[in-house]
Amino acid sequence: MAFQRFYNLYPDIAVNETRSITLLQAEYGLPAGEYAFIGHLFREGIDRGRVSHAVNRAARERKQQQKRTDARKAQKAARKRNCR
């Protein structure tokens, strides 16, 4: 299936619409911490518009987001260097 992260498709909206929950103590077999609900959209064929959510520990998600941001900045800087 071709699910794509809502954030990758609509970053401006996703920043304000992504939801999270914070467990102050371990419950239900989950360690304490912040968990983000990451939306994914199915973008092809008859199931177009189907939505799925993944639950990620927010600290891990922030690290992944930071890596993507750093990579974009590096690409942008490389393009500027190549244009000169």
Domain ranges of the chain: 3-83
State mean pLDDT over 21-43: 86
Q: DSSP character for 24?
A: S
pTM: 0.53
Q: What is the mean pLDDT of the chain?
A: 81
CA angle 49, 54, 47 (to 5 degrees): 20
What tokens does 68 get? 């993507």
- State the pLDDT at residue 25: 92
Q: DSSP character for 53?
A: E
Residue 1 has pLDDT above 70, yes or no: no
**Residue bearing the bigger pLDDT, 68 or 34:** 34
